Structure 1
Amino acid sequence: MTKKILLGLTLMLILLVPTTVLSAHAQTTNPGPTPPADGDKFNYNAGGSTFVYPLMDKWRVEYNQLYSGIKLNYQPVGSGAGIKLFTAKKVDFAGTDAPLQSSDIKKAPQGTLTIPESMGAIVMTYNLPGVQKNGLLLTGDVIAKIYLGQIIYWHDDAIVSLQTDPSIAQALKDDKNKIILVHRSDGSGTTFAFTDYLSKVNSDWAGRVGHATSVPWPAGMGGPGNAGVANIVKKVSESLGYVELGYAVHNKMVSKTGNGAGVTGSGQISMPYAYIQNADGNAFVQPTVLNVEAAAAQGISSLPTADGVWSNVSINNQPGPNTYPIVSFTYLLVDPNLDQIKGESQQKAQDLVHMLYWMVTDGQQYATKLSYAPLPGTLQDLDMTGLSEIKYDGTQIWAYP
């Protein structure tokens, strides 16, 4: 209890300091865990979230360049599968965008650490031959009604009436096709966050479907992983799906001319995404790193400690004129007693703690280019406090602060 009170006071003080100052402070005032020695050679297995995979894969490469003997094998199998691998102690750590729920906590190692390591936007990406640019305007209520199967055509007035760009409005009016819906087919933290948002903005959705890593979808087709959903939307004309921002920004699709029959390809474009109405109801907000940071700034003051219960943590639909409303943390799940993991040793455990520390500190420099928001100092401090709880055979690996 004393530790949690002190952490709470620390977080309050941190919120008063600019993020850029804190990030530097968090990385320089404590030397961090001991880095891998030159002769260390360890392979780490992890898996889970596809949301974080582009960033995790970048971390894998960059960390190996620093410490050539350390290799990470991260499998983007979805948050649901990642949680199962973690609870079965088949991985060194897991990635998930869905915090452990009560049923998961009962199965997980006692004192499991939840370490936020990135933040990102979930975007509505579409493949409309008549609308090949970003900026289709949608509200949360309209998105929910589309996924409930209550709005089935692109020319529905509920969609058309939202548009302020005359060219988009006209293209929608001319489009007589049904919306081809795409959702995740696997247990997904992206789905958890997306359906949490829909539950907040539409009472019908909350009552009929709710939010979870897997839900009984009223409509649409499924694809595995963020990459699977993005791939379907890229290929299927008239489709709409939800993916992490980076999957839309960094994927390319064939641009089209015309509409309906006789559509022809004419080059490559990034997958377009919608601007979503903010929680205040007075603006449509573009999904950008800065607007994700705005959401996090509103929601991080009351977070639990790393060894606490994160089941109800959500930064969706936060207030603010520039706050993008569909946002998720993604987390590392770490066993605080690494000697319980098969194949672990004292040195391997020590090197793992350093790698995780690097991800939430120096590794954050790679976030923005991949369309993730870097962790503010508040979260870095929370993470490092959590990592300092990791032990091997009862002995603390690293002390912080």
Structure 2
Amino acid sequence: MKRLLKRTALLAAVLLGCAAANAETINGAGASFPAPVYAAWTYSYNKVNEAKDQFNYQSIGSGAGVSQLKSGTIDFAGSDDPVKEKDLKQYNLLQFPMLVGGIVPVVNIPGIKSDELKLDGATLAAIFLGDIRKWNDPAIASQNPGLKLPNQRITVVRRSDGSGTTWIFTNYLCKVSEKWAKGPGNAKDVKWFRGTLGAKGNPGIANNVSKTRGSIGYVEYAYAKEAKLATVQLKNADGNYVSPTSATFAAATANADWKGAKDFRVELNNQKGADAWPITGVTYIVLKKDLNKTTAEKLFGYFNWCYSDGRKQASDMHYVPMPEDVVKLVQESWKAVK
């Protein structure tokens, strides 16, 4: 019996050693928008995957992540700005949606609590254009009767790096402000008015808004919750002021045509719907189609785990997991990786 136990233990050790010997370190980088849940996912999956592979994700911004993928220094990229069709073709890339989340304006105004301040899209754009400079401006005051607004200068905090979060935010501003559309426009990095405060990543904006009285910035909702920042109510396409929640983010996806969207390129900003949050975005995973077969299989195993076992973590962190019918479309798209 002892001899049998020793042989069993030895066999287990050999098998464990083989798994460890074949283990890979698989690296991803990019968008800070999904970084909180990606960190939770990689930590959880690294503890349960039988191959003992180590998955890592570095939050460096969408633009930097896609650039590193193109140069071959990482295995997958995260981007909130869908990669352009010509770049997908030129660099032989595949992209697919991983999560949906909300971009929220956050403020630091003395005496104003979370979701007390109401803004419509035109007013938000005017603030970020520098056309509205004080918190008690008539355009703000008219939407907030009874709210005591200070005669305080507005400090605009914006991203200093190429950012998918900025792409989603400026895409929305283009839809609600003709002046914004003809001026700064929609991009990962735009020309801001002089006097704004630049910060790197969602954490950088959250940190600067937290310590700057009179400031306003924009972050993915999980960062606002983590930093305990005051969010605002926004007027949506149906004319309703809504607060940012997982439910209002999900409401913005109700009419999304994932099946008909080429390369899953879906815009969720300013969607119709009584409860729809107006600044809602998709965050994508981007891969090379000529990815090593073994690495590809391990990545798909990880992503399948994220779509299934990781759903609860995503929901708990205020993201919206992809619907099951969309996951099936994504899994079908993986056949392009050879």
Normalization by structure 1: what TM-score?
0.76
CA distance in 2, matches of 1:182, 1:152: 13
CA distance in 2, matches of 1:52, 1:303: 25
Which residue of the partner structure matches residue 243 of structure 2? 286
Find the partner of 1:189 among 150, 164, 186.
164
Alpha-carbon distance change, 105 to 349 in structure 1, aligned in 2, over 3 angstroms? closer
What SS class does the counterpart of residue 169 from structure 2 fall into?
Answer: helix
Alpha-carbon distance change, 101 to 348 in structure 1, aligned in 2, over 3 angstroms? closer
Which residue of the partner structure matches residue 351 of structure 1? 298
What SS class does the counterpart of residue 217 from structure 2 fall into?
Answer: strand
Letter aligned with residue 53 of structure 2: I
Which residue of the partner structure matches residue 179 of structure 1? 154
Once the two structures are superposed, residues 41-93 of structure 1 have per-residue CA deviations (whole angstroms, 9 ceiling, x without a partner) of: 11011100000000100110110111261212211000010111111121100
Alpha-carbon distance change, 104 to 372 in structure 1, aligned in 2, over 3 angstroms? same
* Structure 2: runs of 5+ lacking an equivalent: 1-17
CA contact (8 A) 2:258 2:264 kept: no
Which residue of the partner structure matches residue 130 of structure 2? 149
Which residue of the partner structure matches residue 204 of structure 1? 179
Cα offset for 1:248? 0.4
CA distance in 2, matches of 1:52, 1:202: 27
Which residue of the partner structure matches residue 284 of structure 2? 331
Find the partner of 1:248 among 224, 249, 252.
224
Cα offset for 1:218? 2.0
Once the two structures are superposed, residues 265-291 of structure 1 have per-residue CA deviations (whole angstroms, 9 ceiling, x without a partner) of: xxxxx211001101122x101111111
Alpha-carbon distance change, 103 to 181 in structure 1, aligned in 2, over 3 angstroms? farther
1:222 aligns with 2:198: yes
1:360 aligns with 2:335: no
* Structure 1: runs of 5+ lacking an equivalent: 1-36, 252-269, 340-345, 392-401
Alpha-carbon distance change, 101 to 347 in structure 1, aligned in 2, over 3 angstroms? closer
Alpha-carbon distance change, 129 to 184 in structure 1, aligned in 2, over 3 angstroms? same
What SS class does the counterpart of residue 157 from structure 2 fall into?
Answer: strand
Task: Tell me whether 350-359 or 189-198 shows the greater mean CA deviation.
Answer: 350-359
Cα offset for 1:132? 2.8
CA distance in 2, matches of 1:78, 1:302: 28
CA distance in 2, matches of 1:332, 1:354: 14
Cα offset for 1:300? 3.2
Letter aligned with residue 271 of structure 1: L
CA distance in 2, matches of 1:190, 1:158: 26
1:318 aligns with 2:301: no
1:70 aligns with 2:53: yes
What SS class does the counterpart of residue 276 from structure 2 fall into?
Answer: coil
CA contact (8 A) 1:361 1:380 kept: no
CA contact (8 A) 1:122 1:328 kept: yes
Find the partner of 1:81 among 52, 64, 75.
64
What RMSD over aligned residues (CA atoms) do the two structures have, in Å? 1.7
CA distance in 2, matches of 1:43, 1:93: 12
Cα offset for 1:106? 5.4
What SS class does the counterpart of residue 209 from structure 1 fall into?
Answer: coil
What SS class does the counterpart of residue 104 from structure 1 fall into?
Answer: helix
1:50-69 alignment to 2 at 5 Å?
A: 50-67=32-49, 69=52
